[in-house]
Amino acid sequence: MLAPVAMKTHRLEPLLNPGSIAIVGASNNAARIGGMPIAHLTQFGYQGQVYPINPKYSEVFGLRCWPDIEALPVAPDLVVLAIAAADVLPMLRRCAARGVRAVIVYAAGFAEEGARGAAMQAELEAYVATTDMVVAGPNAMGFANLNTQAHTNFASVFNTAPMQSGRGSVSLLTQSGNVCAAVYAIARRLGVDFSHFINTGNEACVDFAQYLEYLAQDVATEVCMGYIEELRDGPRFMDAAEAFVRQGKLLILYKAGETDKGSEAVRSHTSALAGDKAVYQAAFRQLGIIQSHDFVQMAQLAHLAGYRHRSAGKRVAIITISGALGAILADKFIGAGLEVPTLPQALQDQLRAGIPDYGMVSNPVDVTGNVVNDPGFVRTAMQALAQSEAVDSVVIYAPGYMLDRMADDLCAVSARFSKLFVAIDTGAAKTREQLRAGGVPVFEDIGVAVSALAPFLLWQERRRHNRWLQVRGQAAPTRAALPDSLDEYRTKQLLARHGVPAALERVATTADEAAAAADAIGYPVVLKVLSADIAHKTEAGGVRLRLADAAQVRQAFDEVLASARRYDPQARIEGALVCRMESGVAELIVGATRDPVFGMTLTVGLGGVLTELYQDVSHRLLPVDEAMAREMLQELKAFPLLTGYRGRAQGDVDAACAAIAGFSRAVLALGDQVQEVEVNPLLVMEQGVCMLDALVLTAPQAA
């Protein structure tokens, strides 16, 4: 047998799971920030040592109060500073000298309050970097470890929300104390039991990603509900999120600031940039994170997470006692992205044996009100559904009293089969807790059920084969050197080397060379001025289409160069590009831009002004392989234009996917040398694809 591996204690352990806690600025008043944590610690049964510190008192909440930190018999794991901003830095020095491992700073008045506060925060950060201490905040409401009742917060929600009786496995991690408290209150009302209550404050020394790293390795935490305004360290966040989800834990994140007004409120709140909504959405999805926009939904997802080890997926069987309710559920599930497949005939026949003619067996299944008169049938039907490979999950919606009559059967089937059965009861079933304990989650509202089930089942579906987490770990491509000049030809050649097909084209530096190139390529041709300094070739009069013979090419060469020189006398003109005049089925735009949080991000859409108006684009973090590229194309509402819509020609989707994957490799190989890369358009033909134009913008530091 191997010896047990010595677990390295996580750096944030003294902050989030402290064995002893001192409160500097302790107060006897439970309504004050120096009193509330001590009130909570004594009231809720924290077993560790608590040291109130305040020279004014000898006792606080029945505990001995110490005059200063130096007077303590031992160095506490964690010190809570309930003191004013100006006093924080001197006190941190004393904590460090005393050997304290972790500190929470409540005080506001730092980076969120103008230049002076920002300077003070910078000073704090610089000092803490010279120590071994972990410092949370400033401007934070403090934490709670609900499994040890280590309360280091001044959150009055713990005075009003009912305290859980047992252990919890759901952690809260928010960039706002008030959101932390609001979600806690809502989730407690819905019966969620918590492990950690964390709000990050100004994140001077510990940011969101580091807390998430902690929760990833925290055995008490199986679910994290998070709230984000701005991520300070995107790559670290991605690694932490990946570590979290790779363990099968459920990560649910709310990102605020999606509208201008919302992001204005967030900015003013934490001086943070809200970031690009679409990129966050892509990142969450690729990382296997469920994005939520509703606190109740988050809480219900946390509840569902307890059933995440059951087998489940997006093909849902709906069982009701009424065609109308079946219709309503089918509308809602399909609208939310799930599937309600027609059941196989054999299964329908099995169901029909117990369902009257006016009931339905196809899915939704309307067992009709009569079914309760035949309890044996309920079990048979549920077993048949549990064993069917045509559906992944089963949802039963029946009035409370009918659900009560089915509860034993449901629990029995759920005990024997791993498939997820879910009950909806908008009445007052008495068996809700029996069902939940028996492996059947129960919702008391249709809307809430759909809003939680849909993302949960889609998450179950995706986590089985999260393609991106596989390709993300692969070795990065060899770094590609940037050519001296990023003119159109060299840009295309660069991309072509990674697998994005260029059109048949040649560089010509004289009219004769142009004519010879055209002869070789075959007519008609396009002739374009070649200059890394001229981005808008058409505007510069630098493009001629449909040139039919050598004479036209010669003339075009001279005209185009003259026109370009008039347009920009300073531009270095390298000649002209002679290209075969291609036509195809559709034009794509394939671009990569650098997101400040998540790095290089790929965008695919159909070219043209309507695509822009309809915002019909798909985003992904890199790398993107061919399978992901196909998913991106399929997400476009305009995708049918590539696949023979209404008798049109079919485009070569395979070639487009290969080109997009090649584009992704090229962008990764260029790395931090570039700021933006774009192929616009990528012409999709019946056979193959080719770049008609391409552009690279170098990164400021590389320029």
* Positions in 177-196 near its own copies (CB under 8 A): 177-179, 181-182, 185-186
Q: How far is the CB of 446 from its own copies (least distance, A)?
A: 6
Q: How far apart are CB 587 and its own copies at their closest, in Å?
A: 13
Identify residues 246-285 at the interface with its own copies (CB under 8 A): 254, 256-259, 261-266, 268-270
Closer CB to its own copies, residue 149 or residue 270? 270
**Footprint on residues 346-405 left by its own copies (CB under 8 A):** 357-358, 360, 362-364, 366, 399-401
Q: Using only C-alpha atoms, what is the Rg of the chain? A: 31
Closest-CA residue to 143 (of 99, 80, 232, 193): 80
Within 596-635, which residues bind its own copies (CB under 8 A)?
608-610, 613-614, 616
Binding mask 221-250 for its own copies (x = CB under 8 A): ------x-x---------------------
Question: Which of 331, 433, 512, 686 touches its own copies (CB under 8 A)?
Answer: 331
Closest distance of CB 688 from its own copies, Å: 23
Dist CA 633 CA 658 (whole Å): 12
CB atoms within 10 A of CB 572: 12
Answer yes or no whether residue 163 interacts with its own copies by CB under 8 A: no
470 binds its own copies (CB under 8 A): no
> Mind giving me the DSSP string for 533-579?
T-S-TTTTT-EEEEE-SHHHHHHHHHHHHHHHHHH-TTS---EEEEE
Q: Does 510 bind its own copies (CB under 8 A)?
A: no
- Report the amino acid identity of residue 350: Q
For its own copies, the closer of residues 63 and 265 by Cβ is 265
- Binders of its own copies in range 63-122 (CB under 8 A): 108, 112-114
Distance CA 361, CA 341 (A): 12
| Encoded tokens for 553 | 């090419």
Choose the stretch contacting its own copies; rule: CB under 8 A; options: 159-167, 210-218, 230-238, 651-659.
159-167
Query: Does position 328 bind its own copies by CB under 8 A?
Result: yes
Distances (CA, A) of 174 to 300, 465, 466, 655: 18, 29, 26, 44
- Nearer to its own copies (CB atom), residue 183 or residue 677: 183
- Identify residues 544-563 at the interface with its own copies (CB under 8 A): none
The owner of tokens 């990946």 is: 242
Point out which span in 442-450, 510-518, 528-536, 687-695 binds its own copies (CB under 8 A).
442-450
Q: Pick from 9, 129, 130, 160 the residue near its own copies by CB under 8 A.
A: 160
* Shortest Cβ 369–its own copies spacing (Å): 8
Residue type, 664: S
Q: What count of Cα atoms within 13 Å lies in the side-chain half-sphere of residue 668?
A: 19
Name which of residues 113 to 132 contact its own copies (CB under 8 A).
113-114
First to last CA, the chain: 58
The yes or no reply on residue 327 touching its own copies (CB under 8 A) is yes
d(CA 534, CA 326): 61
CB of 180 to its own copies, least distance (A): 9
**Are the beta carbons of 311 and 418 closer than 8 angstroms?**
yes
Q: Closest distance between its own copies and the C-beta of residue 296, in Å?
A: 6
Q: How far apart (Å, rounded) are the C-alpha atoms in residues 201 and 138?
A: 6
Q: Say whether residue 326 binds its own copies (CB under 8 A).
A: yes
Contact set for its own copies, span 290-319 (CB under 8 A): 293-297
What is the rounded CA–CA span in Å between residue 114 and residue 680?
43
What's the closest the beta carbon of residue 401 comes to its own copies, in angstroms? 6
User: Residues 172, 183: contact at Cβ < 8 Å?
Assistant: yes
Burial letters 374-394, b for 16+ CB under 10 A, else e: eeebbebbbbbbbebeebbbb
**Identified binder of its own copies from the candidate list 151, 314, 332, 506, rule CB under 8 A:** 332
Q: 53 forms bridges with which residues in the sheet?
A: 24, 66
Q: What is the DSSP string of 655-670?
A: HHHHHHHHHHHHHHHH
Spatial separation of the C-alpha atoms in residues 67 and 257, rounded to whole Å: 45
| 426 binds its own copies, rule: CB under 8 A | yes
- Answer yes or no: are the C-beta atoms of 541 and 563 closer than 8 Å: yes
Considering only 88, 252, 340, 452, the residue that binds its own copies (CB under 8 A) is 340
Q: Is 40 in the site for its own copies (CB under 8 A)?
A: no
Q: Which of 646, 687, 701, 703 binds its own copies (CB under 8 A)?
A: 646
Q: Which stretch binds its own copies (CB under 8 A): 86-94, 439-447, 459-467, 519-527?
A: 439-447
